[in-house]
Amino acid sequence: MWYERLLGAFSVDMGIDLGTCNTLVAVRGQGIVLNEPSVVAVKKGTNQVLKNGQAVGWVAKEMLGKTPGSITAVRPLKDGVISDFEITEAMLNYFITKVTGRARFLAPRVVISIPSGITAVEKRAVFDSAERAGARRTYLLEEPIAAAIGAGLPFAEPTASMIVDIGGGTTEVAIMTLADIATCESVRVAGDDMDEAIISYMKRTYNLMIGEQTAERVKIQIGSASPTGEDTSMDVRGRDMVSGLPRKTEITSAEIREALQEPVAAIIEAVTRTLERAEPELAADLVENGITLAGGGSLLRGLPARVQKATGLDVVLAEDPLTCVARGTAIYLENIELWKDTLENNLET
């Protein structure tokens, strides 16, 4: 509509990658303007956000696992979908206000990425949260499409593109052609499950209880999916499960590789299952075009090599995989008139 275009010229339209671990916001023409953890600190037993609604993102993440009895640090998204409606709304409101400023002249249009496997009820929860957080109009864009746009894949052309987007709560595997998804699979195994696997391994092997943030640090520093040269080690601190006292122990990258076998294998299985369901012509294209990895989980060392070995296809890491989906939502906003009809089935309006 002409008036939508006119309003669009005056509003700060934004694309939001609403992730289980991090929320990224990209503004049309400006790129990524915000990247904060999807964490909110609330008063225990209520949905009242601390610090006058400001205990969101980095401020709240620092409190994870360290809160006293009166405070709870909550991650309102689980497995890529909203698990706490009111807190998600408060978080979205905080991020939208932070980007547009309190005295915003016009409510923004918002494109939010969603996992491809979510239900109509889960879609409606995202849609309602954005509307109540102050969006003028909300579009829901499936994550694999957003990641493909952000990674610069020729997803609108009559050739197959394959994206594997490994986030915090979900892994999205999709083969796309002609601006739509030909075949896809969304599995709820991703970065968080890698952290859980490390926590379980430390309990089982060393009788050491460690927190989520420590597990994430171990994964980033020495985690790998396949051998990548020299083994490294690091000190891990936690609570001894026998004595109950604080203790530290040294672990090697080979041990963490072993701990991560299960989640990594589940992701690779999802990739091979999706390939098996591809049409012959699309499969033929993929021999040439290969697979692109995106999302924070794809930064695990040795993962591209592991996927390549399992599939026999060329595997590349998207440029800046962490911001791929958010960049894709912003590019989508810039071309909204062009793509709106093509992707109508992926939108809530």
The pLDDT value given to residue 11: 67
Residue range 2-38+75-146+325-346 in CATH 3.30.420.40: yes
Does the pLDDT value for residue 219 go beyond 90?
yes
Residue 244: band (very low, low, confident or very high) from pLDDT cuts 50, 70, 90: very high
Q: Which residues on neighbouring strands pair with residue 36, listed in sequence order?
A: 23
As a whole number of angstroms, the longest Cα–Cα distance in the chain is 69
Amino acid sitting at position 210: I
Structural domain spans, the chain:
2-38+75-146+325-346, 158-189+263-321, 191-261
> Alpha-carbon dihedral of residues 82, 84, 85, 89, nearest 10 degrees?
-90
Mean pLDDT of 282-291: 95
pLDDT, one tens digit per residue, over 38-67 is: 999 888 878 888 888 788 999 888 887 777
Mean pLDDT of 324-348: 73
How many Cα atoms sit within 13 Å of 73 on the Cβ side? 19
Is 191-261 in the same CATH topology as 158-189+263-321?
Answer: no
CA angle (120 as vertex; 117, 126 as ends), nearest 5: 90
The pLDDT value given to residue 346: 42
Mean pLDDT of 83-93: 87
| Beta pairing class for 109-114 and 14-18 | parallel
Tokens of 3: 């008036």
Q: Check residues 293 and 125 and name the one with the higher pLDDT.
A: 293
**303: three-class secondary structure by DSSP:** helix
Closest by Cα among 95, 76, 97, 71 to 87: 76
Q: Under CATH, what is the fold of the domain 158-189+263-321?
A: Nucleotidyltransferase; domain 5 (3.30.420)
